[in-house]
Amino acid sequence: MDLPLGLAVADNNVVLEGVHPNLMNFLAHLAMIHKLLFGADMVITSAKDGKHVPGSLHPLGRAGDVRTHDKTPDEVSLFIHVITFSAAALPVALFDERNVPPSPHLHLEWHGV
Ligand SMILES: [Zn+2]
């Protein structure tokens, strides 16, 4: 899969095939903003792959995880503000899972059609 500008995956285990097209569009736009703000690609650490809790939207292709350890706490705070501003107009839910083992990340869910 060709990745949109500014979007990267953590490794070859990350599955983007089958992710909801509207969530992919959102992530692509967010990646460009990420590149603008931080001068680096936005790294997806998990999408339609991996092990997730029962009821997770990941197997449905409606969730994606974004790396946080490549940003300072202030940068993550800024990014969270940007996402929540956009999420007010879009059916996106954001969960700050920096304290959820095994790896800190932001979890994004698509709740639209
Ligand atoms: Zn997740």
- Using one digit for the tens of pLDDT, what is the confidence trace for 62-72? 999 999 999 99
Task: Could you list the beta-strand ranges (E) of 7-110.
Answer: 7-9, 42-46, 63-67, 92-97, 105-110
Model-level pTM greater than 0.85?
yes
Query: Which of the four pLDDT bands, split at 50, 70 and 90, describes residue 44?
Result: very high
Distance from Cα 65 to the centre of ligand 1, integer Å? 5
> Distance, CA 35 to ligand 1 centroid (Å)?
21
Q: What is the pLDDT of residue 2?
A: 81
Predicted confidence at residue 102, as pLDDT, reads: 79
Strands (E), 1-113: 7-9, 42-46, 63-67, 92-97, 105-110
Instruction: Tell me, in angstroms, the distance from the centre of ligand 1 to residue 95's CA.
Output: 8
- Cα 51 to ligand 1 centre (Å): 10
For residue 86, the CA-to-ligand 1 centroid distance in Å is 19
Q: Ligand 1 centre from 107 Cα, in Å?
A: 4
pLDDT at 111: 95
Quick check: 100 pLDDT over 90?
no
Mean pLDDT of the chain: 94
38 CA to middle of ligand 1, Å?
A: 22
In this predicted structure, the answer to whether residue 91 has a pLDDT above a threshold of 90 is yes
Instruction: Specify the pLDDT at position 53.
Output: 85
Top-confidence residue, 77 or 87: 77
Q: How far apart are CA 88 and CA 104, in angstroms?
A: 24
Closest CA relative to residue 97, chosen from 89, 86, 105, 109 = 105
